[in-house]
């Protein structure tokens, strides 16, 4: 047990004219130590949940402990607490994500504000191109897959909703960056590569960006930015396909389709937010 938990206050004896007085003061390290411990436990809990989510299968304590580099006893205690909150489920000694995570994921999608608006447009885009369509969201220097509609073909891009995406290599990321202000660019965890900056002018002129096997060998993508009602780049949409199904002569056609979807979602976001504000 931490010293701060055993001694939340400290007693100091003071001698004055042969009398002993006890001065009691609050331990100045108590809250700090407990706060750091709480933060550490939360970080460990999220590491465990992230690993379970990534594996997409029931996992035993031994495997989880090895993956997150924690003692088995620590992992077991954290899993026990997570199970009590329905964040994980224990199925015969193996753990998987619980129903609370579904609630949180749905709440986040609603909070973003354009996932539901974009969905029918994404479906139409997939039906038109027969290729995989992605929706992305930008959050404080990070770029995430928010939604995905798969291509009907067996050979297609592999990605996961909720996973981080490369903002510097993917067409959707470059389309978003081209719209960023100087202040927004400073928010990124690392500077934009010069070769990407050189693409900005063409991206803004065309209305879409191109990933010509820059993110993944054999894969071509086109993407366009989604702008919120305040004029801020908030997300992006893209079409991705193997190069043998997505030759250079289709880039302009798919690029215009993608930019059209991004513009439609941008308009609907603005209309929706104006209705909410006026009601």
Whether residue 162 is predicted with pLDDT greater than 90 in this model: the reply is no
Contact 222, 258 (CB under 8 A): yes
Residue 28, class by beta-carbon neighbours within 10 Å (0-12 exposed, 13-18 middle, 19+ buried)?
exposed
Mean pLDDT, the chain, rounded, equals 84
Report yes or no: 97 and 89 within 8 Å, Cβ to Cβ: yes
Mean predicted confidence (pLDDT) in 103-107: 83
**Predicted local distance difference test score (pLDDT) of residue 223:** 98
Q: How many residues does the chain have?
A: 279
The rounded distance, in Å, linking the Cα atoms of 75 and 78 is 5
**Residue given tokens 């081209």 in the structure block:** 178
Between residues 260 and 101, which one has the greater pLDDT?
260
Pairing of strands 142-149, 132-139: antiparallel
- pLDDT above 80 for 278: no
* Straight-line distance from the first to the last Cα atom of the chain, in angstroms, rounded to the nearest whole number: 54
CA distance 278 to 261: 26
Judge contact between 25 and 10, C-beta under 8 A. Answer: yes
Of 139, 168, 175, 169, give the one whose Cα is nearest residue 157.
169
* Burial class of residue 265 (count of CB atoms within 10 Å of its CB; 0-12, 13-18, 19+): buried
Percent of the chain with pLDDT over 70: 83
Enumerate domains of the chain plus CATH numbers: 3-100 (1.10.10.10), 113-278 (3.30.450.40)
Q: Give yes or no for residue 192 having a pLDDT over 60.
A: yes
Give me the pLDDT at residue 124, please: 96
Asked if residue 64 lies in contact with residue 52, where contact means CB atoms within 8 angstroms, the answer is yes
Rounded Cα gap, residues 251 and 253, in angstroms: 6
């Amino acid at each position: 047990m931490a010293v701060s938990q055993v001694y939340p206050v400290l007693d100091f004896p003071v001698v004055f004219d042969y009398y002993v007085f006890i001065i009691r003061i609050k331990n100045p390290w108590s809250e700090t130590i407990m706060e750091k411990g709480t933060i550490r436990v939360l970080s460990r809990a999220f590491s465990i949940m992230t690993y379970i989510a990534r594996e997409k299968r029931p996992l035993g304590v031994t495997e989880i402990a090895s993956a997150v580099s924690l003692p088995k006893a620590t992992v077991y205690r954290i899993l026990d607490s997570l199970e009590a909150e329905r964040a994980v489920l224990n199925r015969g000694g193996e753990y998987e994500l619980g129903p609370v995570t579904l609630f949180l994921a749905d709440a986040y999608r609603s909070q973003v504000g354009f996932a539901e608006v974009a969905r029918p447009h994404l479906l139409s885009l997939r039906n038109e191109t027969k290729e995989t369509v992605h929706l992305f969201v930008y959050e404080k220097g990070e770029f995430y897959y928010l939604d995905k509609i798969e291509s009907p073909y067996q050979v297609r891009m592999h990605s996961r909703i909720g996973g981080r995406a490369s903002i510097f290599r993917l067409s959707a990321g470059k389309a978003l960056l081209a719209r960023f202000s100087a202040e927004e660019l400073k928010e990124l965890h690392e500077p934009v590569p010069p070769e990407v900056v050189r693409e900005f002018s063409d991206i803004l002129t065309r209305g879409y960006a191109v990933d010509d096997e820059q993110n993944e060998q054999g894969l071509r993508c086109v993407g366009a930015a989604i702008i919120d009602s305040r004029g801020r780049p908030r997300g992006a949409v893209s079409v991705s396909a193997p190069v043998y199904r997505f030759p250079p002569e289709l880039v302009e056609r798919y690029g215009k389709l993608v930019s059209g979807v991004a513009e439609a979602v941008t308009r609907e976001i603005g209309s929706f937010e104006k209705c909410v504000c006026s009601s």
